[in-house]
Structure 1
Amino acid sequence: MAKKSKRKRKLRKGRIVMAVIIVAAIVIMSCLVVKRINQNSEAKKVKNLAEIKIPDWIDSQIIDVDGASRNGYKLKGVKDIVVHYVGNPGTTAQQNHNFYAGDQSNVSSHFVVGLDGEIIQCIPINEWSAASNWRNNDTISIEVCHPDETGKFKKKTYSSLVKLVAWLENVCDIDESHVIRHYDITKKECPRYFVQHEDKWKTFKKNVEKYRLAHY
């Protein structure tokens, strides 16, 4: 009788161990499947970035790959859109583009918005720019021109920035929570006016969403 009880306990213990192994295997397989799905989804997003058609209201002037301003690395995806200000009062979008393209530069942005509302593309939308520090691998950067030291943008500049960010949100399938300032990454006072005036930054993001809802 004792032997039978012992045998039953062993069988019961064996079944429990086997059940645990099966459950663990199912969990591991499920995790692997989810990971593969996420990887495929991410790869699809990255591929789609290269397929995005740049609208005709953006002047595409892609700078050469030089290993510094443009390294040619591909983005993993787009988690955030980062707004900067150029920090050189009175300079134009073309002047900033030309600086990025020069031999002395190791910085760049995907887009520059000018004093008269012009928008120049400097870096392909599926590549790294050299603007947002350790977030260059998953962000799109926008440098914005300003007339003076306050960093406040002119009306035409502001309107074009709203239009550009709304378009980027749409093509990258992200919302206003993924529109950030350079300040939000590094605590650098950039873009200055939107850092010093938090309420104006919130208003800007609301204006972007209004534009997006009206046009996309």
Structure 2
Amino acid sequence: MPIQTHYLTSNPYSRPRLPLYKVTKLVIHWVGNPKSSALSNRNYFENLKLGRTKTYASSHYIVGLDGEVIQCIPDNERAYHAKSANSYSLGIETCHSDWEGKFSSCTYNALIALCAMLCQKYGLDPREDLLRHYDVTGKCCPKYYVVHPEAWTQLKEDVHKQMC
């Protein structure tokens, strides 16, 4: 799976360069901005370095509408994506085409492949170690998979099947 590396500039708002010693979970998000691209979401994180909004946010990966994957932060550094889980998890933002938040087949397939690769790399079980942002903070994210928990169960099962 091709991953484009576009690391964020070191800064206190989106790439603090704090160590992430051991990856034990993957946290899935939706970008909450329909039809936006992976690159535009990456650039949003990059522009936080200016400090205008005092917003702390980032993710390790962003999966785009056409299945492209951008890595924003190395796996051994923390991203600001899920509050208390930042110290032990990788954050994956996922683009979507509407406010319902269901991922397109291109996006979904790329997300499954990325999660399977990361689960294999870090020895994770997707049925236990794949979380929604909702599972960590209670935020309705990724919306479709909070509203449709059966779709979330299927997503985790699809990652597991991809690993076999």
TM over 0.5: yes
Match of 1:112 in 2: 62
Match of 2:135 in 1: 184
Alignment of 1:6-155 (within 5 A): 57-102=2-47, 103=50, 104=52, 106-155=56-105
Which protein is bigger by CA-based radius of gyration? 1
CA offsets 1:195-214 (integer angstroms, 9 cap, x no match): 0000000011111011111x
Distance 1:158 1:117 in 2: 8
- Residue 106 of structure 1 and its aligned partner are, at CA, apart by 2.4
Match of 1:169 in 2: 119
CA offsets 1:123-168 (integer angstroms, 9 cap, x no match): 0110000111111111000000000000110100000000000000
- Residue 67 of structure 1 and its aligned partner are, at CA, apart by 1.3
Match of 1:207 in 2: 158
**2:32 aligned partner, one-letter code:** G
User: Structure 2: where are the runs of 5+ without partners?
Assistant: none
**1:205 aligned partner, one-letter code:** K
**1:189 aligned partner, one-letter code:** C
Distance 2:86 2:40 in 1: 22
- Residue 76 of structure 1 and its aligned partner are, at CA, apart by 2.5
Distance 2:145 2:94 in 1: 12
**1:99 aligned partner, one-letter code:** Y
- Greater percentage in helix: 1
Distance 1:116 1:110 in 2: 18
Distance 2:21 2:40 in 1: 29
**2:31 aligned partner, one-letter code:** V
Moved more, 157-166 or 97-106: 97-106
CA offsets 1:85-108 (integer angstroms, 9 cap, x no match): 000011000000011111255211
Identical amino acids, percent of aligned pairs: 39
Distance 1:148 1:167 in 2: 27
SS in 2 for 1:158: helix
User: Structure 1: where are the runs of 5+ without partners?
Assistant: 1-54
CA RMSD for the aligned pairs? Answer: 0.9
CA offsets 1:164-212 (integer angstroms, 9 cap, x no match): 0000000011111100100000111000000000000001111101111
- Residue 59 of structure 1 and its aligned partner are, at CA, apart by 0.3
Distance 2:138 2:8 in 1: 28
CA offsets 1:22-49 (integer angstroms, 9 cap, x no match): xxxxxxxxxxxxxxxxxxxxxxxxxxxx
